[in-house]
Amino acid sequence: MRVFLTGGSGYLGRSVLAALARHGIEAAALARSDASAAVVTSLGATAVRGELTDVDVLRRAAAEADGAIHLGAGTGPDAPRHILDAARAMQEGLGDRGTYVHTGGVWVYGDTDGVADEEAPQRPPRVAAWLQGNERTVLAAADRGGRPVLVMPGVVYGHGAGLPTGFFTEPGRSTGAVPVIGDGANHWSVVHVDDIAELYVLALGAAPGSRYAGVAENLRLADIVQALSVAAGHPGSIEQLTVDQAVERMGPVAEAFALDQRFTSARARRELGWAPAHLDALTELAEEPAT
């Protein structure tokens, strides 16, 4: 089996390439630069030179593969369109021959009422609002004979990187206090990067039109930032911010960090046999080294 993926040299992509290799799956990965090509080839993949906006390159690469995984993320105001255009190109290249796995995110659901699943109503914050239309378009291909599958990661952490490290631990190292938004009573649904990578590989065998919430634990933000304060070298030193203050400092993503979300991954466990191995995020986050 041969799988083509975008974003292979990125944080999540490196773990997905490693997971594909563990499963004995051949991989080809888009690489926009010599540095990106070196990363993906070091992980056993074939580099396909091009940009996320090179839809002809994406279409041809998908046509030569048995499946595709879209992890690439653009930048700037046109990023949602570029991501969707890339998705369409890969789906066209695959046709009905193989599974196309698209990246969504649980933030699209907004605050959840208790523990939610994939069928919960969606009330996204502005930073995630664009996901709705893209996801609907991608999954609609199942009605035309395509084989789209949606993986929706929670907040991804692990290996000293990810959003918690970038927006909380690193600032805490420099300022002496890790920020918390509000009183920290809200919950994050979190997942280790290696565990969500495994879900992407398993999703290649999922039924067309399937959606999977990729979360392993639901933790209070107050507990998460306490762990991150240890990693930052300032145990227990927390700076409380209002949502407005957090938005001013972090940008619109702060509204997503302020969500109160709890999710079950029962569907992925039941249908795909997904079994996350990292189930003590607080300990791992406290021990994460500086990047």
| pTM for this model (two decimals) | 0.96
Based on the domain organization, do 131 and 225 belong to the same domain?
no
Based on the domain organization, do 125 and 23 belong to the same domain?
yes
- Asked whether residue 268 is assigned to any structural domain, the reply reads no
Q: Are 216 and 190 in contact (CB under 8 A)?
A: yes
Based on the domain organization, do 25 and 56 belong to the same domain?
yes
Based on the domain organization, do 66 and 6 belong to the same domain?
yes
Based on the domain organization, do 6 and 20 belong to the same domain?
yes
- Asked whether residue 150 is assigned to any structural domain, the reply reads yes
- Asked whether residue 267 is assigned to any structural domain, the reply reads no
Based on the domain organization, do 49 and 135 belong to the same domain?
yes
Based on the domain organization, do 167 and 134 belong to the same domain?
no
The confidence band for 80, taking pLDDT boundaries of 50, 70 and 90, is very high
Q: What is the pLDDT of residues 192-223, one digit of tens each?
A: 999 999 999 999 999 999 999 999 999 999 99
Based on the domain organization, do 28 and 131 belong to the same domain?
yes
Domain that holds residue 223: 157-190+217-262+277-287
Based on the domain organization, do 61 and 131 belong to the same domain?
yes
Based on the domain organization, do 74 and 30 belong to the same domain?
yes
Q: Which residues are CB-contacts of 16 (< 8 A; sequence separation ≥ 6)?
A: 5, 8, 69, 71, 197, 200, 201
Domains: count for the chain: 2
Nearest to 240 by CA among 173, 185, 178: 178
Strand order in the sheet with 67-70: 46-49, 26-31, 2-6, 67-70, 99-103, 148-153, 210-214
- Asked whether residue 269 is assigned to any structural domain, the reply reads no
Q: Are 124 and 152 in contact (CB under 8 A)?
A: no
Q: What is the pLDDT of residues 133-184, one digit of tens each?
A: 999 999 999 999 999 999 999 999 999 999 999 999 999 999 999 999 999 9
The answer on pLDDT for 291 being more than 80 is no
Mean per-residue pLDDT, 233-251: 96
* Residues above pLDDT 70, as percent of the chain: 99
Based on the domain organization, do 200 and 60 belong to the same domain?
yes
pLDDT of residue 1: 95
Based on the domain organization, do 12 and 150 belong to the same domain?
yes
Q: Nearest 5 degrees, angle CA 162-CA 184-CA 178?
A: 55
Instruction: Tell me the CATH number at 176.
Output: 3.90.25
Q: What is the pLDDT of residues 8-24, one digit of tens each?
A: 999 999 999 999 999 99
- Asked whether residue 233 is assigned to any structural domain, the reply reads yes
Instruction: Tell me the CATH number at 144.
Output: 3.40.50.720
